[in-house]
């Protein structure tokens, strides 16, 4: 057992931290205030190989591992949680293509996606199928040599800017979970359109939209994986995705924590720095411990994924604990900043808003508990 | 047209993170965080910019130091350098700039012939700015120090470089092979590339003194003539005072009053 990141993983942390500080952080407040999708960040991340970290070079990836990927999301999210989730949601499209795609599909899609020339999205949630994801109402029917999709998806991250969408649809309702199949839909496919864009409380720069399929015809070879195995594709994708969101959450928590450390050291009340007050010291000590514990859960889940071991339970534990830690830490950090923390003058309120969604997307905390309970009971 | 460019780089204590021994007042080097010397990163960026512009250019990096400096060389490779050599040998410890320039000169001659050698202007720890010029002296090639702009001339044999002075700058046309020491104003160093971090076989060699072609008698503490008597920051010159009134007459009146006040007139 080795609790140190290896040399390459450490270099990834160093590189992404420097990148995030110089290129991402200066615009984070503006991206949030204007609800602006930071296209330029995606282009820059792409240039440095950040859009395909845990994939082999054969397909245009960086040749890295999932721990490095988690470290990168964490560091990006310290500077800007919006930028972190753009990269994480993109990976929800690239990973299943790499894992379940035919060689032809891999060769066709991965080079552009992993080099960041194209952006990916993952479409499972529907207005009536959220936590109960198996109740898919989007239908796909085979018509000659084409699949015809009808239905709608909602809360799709990267929706307005993605080029390739992994879409789950019901191909045989009578079979329940086993009647769901996954498909690759491209921007511009006939009958496919982007619906309304949601205005959110946090991660304001990320694009979250509805998708609408109205007699959307796609070639037969756009089916990803086997017929009726779409639910498995989605669930295994989310196992890895949860590591990414956990990393995003802990990036937010660490940033809020670090900024609060500086604040408590410099802010004086009653003639001494706040950092000297035991009530605050104890709270900070607890939060530091929670952050450390969450990081260990994340790296453990990522390590199991890198080793090809099952990681469903571990990823859910990491996501549950990291997201709830992020919410707790950011809420406390706003409190410790007092009135200043509640103003837009300090970035700490943004982190509290950004943290909330990590308890919701890619499976709510309640879903994580269902997954963990299923594994332990 | 291709170029063989060598960058000399040094690992230095990270001055933002390093602690100072409260008793001795010196840097606590043991176990201290380290980083690539900032000026050397600019030298590497200058080399990589040539590689970007001129096909088949190779960029090599040379360093001397403890094995720990391998980490810095991995960073150089991840930024885009092709090869790296670390000369690391206990016999070389405590070398001053004179002995260091000897070691680097031996090693780079073993590495091959170079059209251009780039060094940082100064190392952040020693601040002498001597090693680069000494290497040029030992090789008998032209050198320009403190370069803050450079371009390769179309003939591929000369460089046009700029170095600043207190009141202006000097443009120097220099023939390759040559050595430049560069300042932080030259460029903005690129980040490492993630695919390069995961390069399977990074080309990094560690040489001992013998492999570097060094005569151990001419390196290390015993071959270092430098003796440090004292080190201090130069005294700050007096800052000027700007006098400005709403009109020329008023400004003149203020100046006159000020001169009278200090009994200058």
Name the phi and psi angles at B253, rounded to 5.
Answer: -65, -40
Cα separation of A366 and B213, whole Å?
Answer: 66
Predicted confidence (pLDDT) per residue in A112-171, tens digit: 999 999 999 999 999 998 888 888 999 999 999 999 999 999 999 999 999 999 999 999
In chain A, the number of structural domains is: 3
A129 secondary structure, DSSP code? B
Confidence of residue B165 (pLDDT cuts 50, 70, 90): confident
Chain B residues near residue A19 by CB distance under 8 angstroms: 191
Question: A67, A85, A114 — which closes off a domain?
Answer: A114
Examine the pLDDT at A42 and tell me if it is beyond 70. Answer: yes
Do the beta carbons of residue B128 and residue B101 sit within 8 Å?
no
Query: Does CATH number 3.40.50.620 belong to domain B4-223?
Result: yes
The CA distance from B87 to B95, in Å, is 13
Mean pLDDT across B173-188: 94
Closest alpha carbon within chain A to B197: A8
Q: How far is A15 from chain B (nearest CA, A)?
A: 6
Residues A236 and A345 in one domain: yes
Contact state of B195 with A63 under an 8 Å Cβ cutoff: yes
Residues A341-352 have a mean pLDDT of: 96
pLDDT at B26 over 70: no
- Calculate mean pLDDT across residues A351-358: 98
Quick check: B192 and A68 CB within 8 A? Answer: no
> Residue B196: closest CA among chain A residues belongs to which residue?
A62
Are B194 and A18 a contacting pair at CB < 8 A?
no
A295 lies in which domain range? 232-376
Q: What is the pLDDT of residues B198-250, one digit of tens each?
A: 999 999 999 999 998 988 888 888 878 888 787 777 776 666 777 888 899 99
Contact B179, B143 (CB under 8 A): yes
- Tell me phi and psi for residue B230, to 5 degrees: -160, 155
The C-alpha of A218 sits at a distance from chain B's nearest C-alpha, in angstroms, of: 34
Mean pLDDT calculated for residue range A271-279: 95
Domain membership of residue A303 (yes or no) is yes
Q: B38 is written with which tokens?
A: 């900032």
Question: What is the distance between the alpha carbons of residues A338 and A356, in angstroms, rounded to a whole number?
Answer: 20
Q: Which of A82-91, A157-166, B88-97, B136-145 has the lowest mean pLDDT?
A: B88-97
A237–chain B Cβ distance below 8 A for any pair: no
Residues A108 and A124 in one domain: no
Q: How confident is the model at residue A276 (pLDDT cuts 50, 70, 90)?
A: very high
- Contact partners, residue B140, CB within 8 Å, separation at least 6: none
Examine residue A273 and state whether it is found in any structural domain, yes or no. Answer: yes
Average pLDDT, integer, range B106-124: 92
Residue B112 has pLDDT above 70, yes or no: yes
Q: Is the pLDDT of residue A30 over 70?
A: yes
Mean pLDDT, residues A341-351 taken together: 96
* Residue A321 distance to chain B (closest CA, Å): 29
The one catalytic residue in A126, A255, A359, A362 is A362
Q: Are residues A96 and A144 in the same domain?
A: no
Mean pLDDT of A105-117: 98
- Per-residue pLDDT of A220-245, as tens digits, reads 999 999 999 999 999 999 999 999 99
Nearest-Cα residue of chain B relative to residue A56: B195
Q: Is A12 on the interface with B (CB under 8 A)?
A: yes
Q: Are A341 and A348 in contact (CB under 8 A)?
A: yes
Token output for B185: 């104003």
What's the CATH code of the domain at A71? 1.10.540.10
What is the predicted pLDDT for the residue at B129?
A: 84
Judge: A49–B195 Cβ closer than 8 Å, yes or no.
Answer: yes
pLDDT at position B91: 86
B191/A11 CB distance under 8 A: no
For position B231, what pLDDT does the model report?
74
Q: Quick check: B194 and A14 CB within 8 A? A: no
Residues above pLDDT 90, as percent of chain B? 58
pLDDT digits (tens, 9 = 90+) for A283-299: 999 999 999 999 999 99
| A chain contacts of residue B195, beta-carbon cutoff 8 Å | 49, 57, 61-63
Confidence tier at B25 by pLDDT (50, 70, 90):
low
Tell me the whole-structure pTM to 2 decimals: 0.90
CA-based nearest residue in chain A for residue B72: A11
Q: Enumerate the residues of chain A whose CB falls inside 8 A of the CB of residue B197.
A: 8, 11-12, 15, 62, 64
DSSP annotation of B213 reads T
- Whether residue A138 is found in the same domain as residue A167: yes
* ipTM associated with this complex: 0.93
Over residues A30-56, the mean pLDDT reads: 97
- Which of B71, B194, B200 is nearest residue A62 as measured by Cβ atoms? B194
Q: Do B192 and A8 touch (CB under 8 A)?
A: no
Q: Mean per-residue pLDDT for B111-135?
A: 88
Q: What band does B24 get if pLDDT is binned at 50, 70 and 90?
A: low
Task: Give the gap in angstroms from C-alpha B74 to the nearest C-alpha of chain A.
Answer: 9
Q: Is residue A2 part of a domain?
A: no
pLDDT at B239: 64
Residue A291 in contact with partner chain B when CB distance is under 8 A: no
Contact A11 B74 (CB under 8 A): yes
**Confidence label for A329 from pLDDT (cuts 50, 70 and 90):** very high
pLDDT for position A38: 98
Question: In this structure, is residue A43 part of a structural domain?
Answer: yes
Instruction: For residue B76, give the chain A residue with the closest CA.
Output: A11
Indicate if A269 and A200 belong to the same structural domain.
Answer: no
Give me the pLDDT at residue B263, please: 82
> Is A257 a member of any domain?
yes
Average pLDDT over residues A162-184: 96
Which is it for the CA torsion A192, A197, A202, A204, positive or negative?
positive
β-strands B11-13, B204-207 pairing: unpaired
Has residue B20 got a pLDDT over 90? no
What b/e readout covers A30-63, taking b as 16+ CB neighbours within 10 angstroms? ebbeeeebbeebbebbbebbbbbbbbbbebbbbb
Q: What is the CATH number of the domain that holds A216?
A: 2.40.110.10
Q: Which tokens is A200 given? A: 């959110």
Chain A environment of B78 (Cβ under 8 Å): 11, 15
Average pLDDT score, chain A:
97
Which residues does chain A have within 8 Å of residue B199's beta carbon, measured at their own beta carbons? Answer: 63
pLDDT bin (cut points 50, 70, 90) of residue B146 is very high
Residues A212, A142 within the same domain = yes
| pLDDT given for residue A157 in this prediction | 97
pLDDT for residue B19: 74
Assess whether A126 and A41 both reside in one domain.
no
- Verify whether the Cβ–Cβ distance B191 to A48 is below 8 Å: yes
Q: Is A126 a catalytic residue?
A: no
Judgement on whether residues A20 and A40 belong to the same structural domain of the protein = yes
How confident is residue B177, by pLDDT bands cut at 50, 70 and 90? Answer: very high
Q: Give just the sign of the alpha carbon dihedral B14, B15, B20, B24.
A: positive
In terms of domains, do A127 and A110 share one? no
Whether residue A1 is contained in a domain is answered as: no
Same domain, A40 and A154: no
In terms of domains, do A104 and A190 share one? no
Indicate yes or no: CB of B74 within 8 angstroms of CB of A64. Answer: no
Bridge-based pairing of strands B34-36 and B11-13 is antiparallel
pLDDT digits (tens, 9 = 90+) for A203-219: 999 999 999 999 999 99
pLDDT value at residue B238: 63
Q: Which of A229, A245, A272 is the last residue of a domain?
A: A229
Of the residues B36, B191, B199, the best mutation for testing chain A's interface (the one with the most A CB atoms within 10 Å of its CB) is B191
CATH number of the domain enclosing A244:
1.20.140.10
> Among partner residues A7, A62, A72, which is closest to B195 by beta-carbon distance?
A62
Instruction: List pLDDT tens digits, range A70-95.
Output: 999 999 999 999 999 999 999 999 99
In angstroms, the Cα distances linking A372 to A106, A235, A355, A358, A367 are 32, 14, 22, 17, 9
> To the nearest whole angstrom, how far is the Cα of A77 from the nearest Cα of chain B?
17
Q: Report d(CA A64, CA A76) in Å as an integer.
A: 17
| A114, A138, A155 - which closes a domain | A114
> Greatest CA separation found in chain A?
79
Burial of A339 (0-12, 13-18, 19+ CB in 10 A): exposed
Task: Measure A12 CA to nearest chain B CA, in Å.
Answer: 7
CA-wise closest residue to B59 among B23, B128, B112 = B112
Q: Is the pLDDT of residue B125 over 90?
A: no
Same domain, A246 and A371: yes
Show the tokens assigned to B77: 């490779």
CA atoms of A245 and A301, how far apart (whole Å): 12
Smallest Cβ–Cβ distance between A15 and the set B194, B199, B200 belongs to B194
Closest-CA residue of chain B to A14: B192
DSSP state of A262: H
Are the beta carbons of B195 and A68 separated by less than 8 Å? no
Q: What is the DSSP string of A317-377?
A: HHHHHHHHHHHHHHHHHHHHTHHHHTSTTSTHHHHHHHHHHHTTTTS-HHHHHHHHHHHH-
Residue listed under structure tokens 């390759």: B176
At residue B221, the pLDDT reads 81
């Amino acid at each position: 057992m080795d609790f140190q990141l290896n040399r390459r993983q450490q270099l990834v942390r160093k590189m992404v931290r420097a990148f995030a500080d110089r290129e991402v952080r200066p615009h984070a407040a503006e991206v949030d205030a204007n609800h602006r999708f930071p296209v330029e960040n995606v282009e820059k991340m792409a240039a440095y190989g950040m859009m395909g970290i845990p994939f082999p070079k054969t397909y245009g990836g960086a040749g890295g591992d999932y721990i490095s990927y988690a470290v990168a999301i964490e560091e990006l999210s310290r500077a800007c949680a919006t930028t972190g989730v753009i990269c994480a949601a993109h990976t929800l499209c690239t990973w299943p293509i790499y894992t379940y795609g035919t060689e032809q599909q891999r060769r066709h899609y991965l080079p552009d996606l992993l080099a960041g020339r194209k952006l990916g999205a993952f479409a499972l949630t529907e207005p009536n199928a959220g936590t109960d994801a198996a109740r898919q109402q989007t239908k796909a029917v085979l018509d000659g040599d084409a699949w015809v999709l009808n239905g709608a998806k909602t809360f799709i991250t990267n929706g307005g800017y993605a080029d390739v969408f992994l879409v789950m649809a019901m191909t045989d309702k009578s079979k329940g979970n086993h009647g769901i199949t996954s498909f690759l839909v491209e921007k511009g496919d006939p009958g496919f359109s982007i619906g309304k864009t949601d205005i959110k409380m946090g991660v304001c720069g990320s694009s979250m939209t509805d998708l609408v399929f109205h007699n959307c015809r796609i070639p037969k070879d756009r089916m990803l994986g086997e017929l009726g195995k779409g639910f498995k594709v989605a669930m295994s994708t989310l196992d890895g995705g949860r590591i990414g969101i956990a990393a995003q959450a802990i990036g937010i928590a660490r940033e809020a924590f670090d900024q609060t450390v500086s604040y408590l050291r410099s802010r004086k009340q009653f003639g001494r720095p706040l950092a000297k007050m035991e009530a605050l010291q104890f709270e900070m000590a607890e939060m530091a411990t929670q952050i450390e514990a969450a990081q260990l859960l994340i790296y453990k889940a990522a390590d199991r994924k890198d080793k090809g071991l099952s990681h469903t339970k571990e990823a859910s534990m990491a996501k549950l604990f990291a997201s709830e830690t992020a919410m707790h830490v950011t809420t406390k950090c706003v409190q410790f900043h007092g009135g200043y923390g509640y103003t837009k003058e300090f970035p700490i309120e943004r982190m509290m808003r950004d943290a909330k969604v990590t308890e919701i997307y890619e499976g709510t905390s309640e879903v994580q508990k269902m997954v963990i309970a299923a594994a332990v009971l | 047209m291709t170029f063989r460019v060598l960058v000399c780089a040094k690992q230095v204590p990270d001055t933002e993170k390093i602690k100072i021994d409260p008793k001795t007042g010196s840097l606590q080097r043991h176990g201290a965080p380290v980083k690539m010397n900032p000026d050397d990163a600019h030298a590497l960026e200058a080399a990589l910019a040539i590689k970007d512009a001129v096909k088949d250019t190779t960029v090599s990096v040379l360093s001397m130091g403890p094995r720990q400096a391998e980490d810095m060389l991995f960073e150089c490779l991840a930024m885009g350098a092709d090869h790296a050599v670390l000369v690391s040998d206990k016999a070389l410890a405590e070398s001053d700039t004179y002995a260091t320039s000897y070691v680097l000169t031996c090693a780079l001659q073993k590495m091959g012939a170079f059209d251009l050698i780039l060094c940082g202007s100064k190392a952040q720890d020693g601040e002498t700015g001597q090693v680069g010029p000494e290497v040029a002296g030992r090789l008998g090639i032209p050198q320009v120090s403190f370069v803050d702009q450079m371009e390769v001339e179309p003939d591929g044999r000369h460089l046009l470089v700029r170095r600043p002075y207190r009141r202006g700058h000097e443009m120097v046309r220099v023939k390759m092979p040559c050595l430049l020491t560069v300042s932080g104003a030259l460029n903005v160093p690129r980040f490492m590339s993630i695919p390069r971090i995961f390069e399977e076989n990074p080309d990094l060699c560690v040489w001992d003194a013998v492999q570097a072609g060094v005569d151990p008698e001419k390196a290390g503490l015993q071959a270092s003539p430098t003796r440090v008597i004292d080190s201090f920051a130069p005294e700050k010159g007096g800052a000027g005072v700007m006098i400005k009134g709403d009109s020329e007459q008023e400004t003149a009146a203020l100046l006159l009053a000020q001169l009278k006040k200090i009994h200058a007139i």
